[in-house]
A and B are shown apart, each in its own frame.
Chain A
């Protein structure tokens, strides 16, 4: 069976620990004068983005290149999709070019699973780079890695993590809640009722509606972007009121416990979910998240693409 990363469940706790350990080695590679190793020479990684996301795409492509893989980018706006080609035909066309992995971002939940089914037996790995409001596993992994690296405790075990803001439209929130809880943190969502999903069944977290109540006990304050482009109805009265009630401003930052860190998946709306000056404080590790994102994606690509083929494993056993 070909290795995919569709959901964090594919990895499990052991797989997550392995990826985070591998990431340490990838961070070391990234620090060198020549930040490139030959591990994936001759492999080809395609990014297939049906929804524009420059930073995630660049992060994956940088990761692939640092491992010496070749990269192709399939931008939907410039492709046959505009001429009416179906998703299935697109993926089979790309597969026919002889590739090893496809990194997919799509506005509909479940698309990566569908691709994995269509590609069964081809040896092509599918990596979920965000599907709808559903999952974004590499974001969760890079966030968990960043917390381990940046918080003085060095672990998520027992940490109190507040995830603040637009949970409803955020796949980041969902993946992060699952992973942070898996690694032993206690997670609290902080959002107005209108920005929470209809059901939180199965989410291992608590919910509060008042940020002032939450900041005093947040070892990690994780701010979500207010996704105005996805809002079809008036879910917040006004940006100014949202910022006043759910934005992390200077006074709230000062009430965070000692050693607390502030995170954001980017791109930031400065002045909305985060006050302009807070994003530049030493406790804000937002640029560290971006740097770690490349290393985590290197770890994931290496892990998936270097797994021995099933036939070889059978020979060994």
Chain B
């Protein structure tokens, strides 16, 4: 996917969110640190252009909720920014790459500490498969079959697939986890 493909995918996902939620009433976007944060902002811009509604955007760092603490160095990227009570909101979690699903599991636990959301949806730019938990996305930019040894990067210039350079342990951390 090049930058234009990503832009068009964001636009389509924004339409899908509005359609699925029947408008944007009570909808908030929360990007996962770090890759999901710019994507959440782009989605919010698209939503504003389509509906004229300003959707709040927050960010969530799930480091303290991960299940691999103690197995590898876990360092938060930046403090979370969820300055609202999420009770009765519809939260759209946004991330760049969905992989094992473990980051999303951690995010669901983290969200619960900010209130009881009416519903939580999941929007990702790339679903690369290899799920290890029963988690599925609601809004997907692109399904991208990959090998476990490949690395998916979502940047300003689009989506690229590269080869992982061993060691595998170190590389797992670089893939944007997920």
Contact = CB atoms under 8 A, between A and B. Distances in A.
Interface centre among A18, A27, A39, A315 (most CB of B within 10 A): A39
Contact of A38 (B61, B64, B85, B170): B64
Interface residues of A, number: 26
A32 B114 contact: yes
B158 interface: no
B169 A315 contact: yes
B165 to A, nearest CB: 14
Contacts of A315: 169
Contacts of B76: 22, 25
A104 to B, nearest CB: 23
A33 B64 contact: no
A281 to B, nearest CB: 29
Given A67-B64, A316-B170, A22 B71 contact: no
Given A24-B79, A28-B79, A308-B72, A37 B170 contact: no
Contacts of A317: 167, 169
A306 interface: yes
A145 B79 CA distance: 15
B170 A33 contact: no
Contacts, number: 60
A29 interface: yes
A99 to B, nearest CB: 15
Nearest to A24: B79
Contacts of A29: 64
B64 A316 contact: no
A14 to B, nearest CB: 12
Contact of B64 (A18, A37, A308): A37
B143 interface: no
A34 interface: yes
A307 interface: yes
A312 interface: yes
Given A38-B65, A39-B64, A316-B167, A25 B109 contact: no
Contacts of A33: 85, 113-115
Interface string B95-122: 0000000000000011001110000000
Nearest to A37: B64
A307 B73 contact: yes
Nearest to A23: B79
Interface in A1-48: 18, 22, 24-25, 27-29, 32-34, 36-40
A35 B78 CA distance: 17
Interface in B106-161: 109-110, 113-115
B93 interface: no
B63 interface: yes
Nearest to B81: A28
Contact of A25 (B72, B78, B114, B170): B78
A317 B169 CA distance: 8
Given A32-B113, A37-B64, A316-B170, A27 B79 contact: yes
Contact of A22 (B65, B75, B167, B169): B75
A308 B70 contact: yes
Contacts of A25: 61, 63-64, 76, 78-80
Given A28-B79, A38-B109, 16 more contacts: A25-B64, A25-B79, A25-B80, A28-B81, A34-B113, A36-B113, A37-B110, A37-B113, A39-B65, A39-B69, A306-B69, A306-B70, A307-B70, A308-B73, A312-B72, A316-B170
Interface of B: 61, 63-65, 69-76, 78-81, 85, 109-110, 113-115, 167, 169-170
5 contacts: A22-B75, A36-B113, A302-B64, A308-B71, A312-B72
Interface of A: 18, 22, 24-25, 27-29, 32-34, 36-40, 67, 302, 305-309, 312, 315-317
